[in-house]
Structure 1
Amino acid sequence: MSARPKVQYLTSTSSASSYSSSDSDLSSSSSVRHSMDSTQPIASVEVLRCLRCARAEEITSTDDPSSSGMVQIGTNIYYCNRCAKMTGYK
């Protein structure tokens, strides 16, 4: 039976001092990163697909699904108007 090697942890104070010198660099880069995050799009394109017949409609995230001819029957589950009438949802 072989003996397991002893675990050694490396600790040094030089790594802590290198982080303190780069604090000013981090604060300047975080402001740049923050300004890039604020340019995200307001609306995104979503594809709604009928659960029954697989008819697809593309809408933006700000549009109402009923304006594109789709009826929402659950969370992210849709019927087209034709299938909704056939199944009794409309």
Structure 2
Amino acid sequence: MSNTDTANDEPEKTNINIRVTEAFLEDIDATWREEGYNSRSEFIRESLRDAVRHPDLSRESWKEIAAVEHARRTGESESFSRDEIVGTDE
């Protein structure tokens, strides 16, 4: 087995360095904790994946998605079943 093989066949990860202001880092840390991520790295990876997978979404679209997702996770929004949204013939 090579050094790049892992127990669950995940691709090898590479570290990157970015510079952000202390204030922005505080916002990032507050956000990942509030949103239930396990770590800052997990939150940043998912944010980057979303930006790469959906480059056509505007910054405003991302803000709206984030607000709705936050409301859903914190219980501040009303939940609906699929049948309530789509409707049923019953």
Q: What TM-score do the two structures reach when normalised by structure 1?
A: 0.22
Which structure carries more helix by proportion? 2
Q: What TM-score do the two structures reach when normalised by structure 2?
A: 0.22
Which structure carries more strand by proportion? 1
Question: Which has the higher relative contact order, 1 or 2, with Cα contacts under 8 A spaced 6 or more apart?
Answer: 1
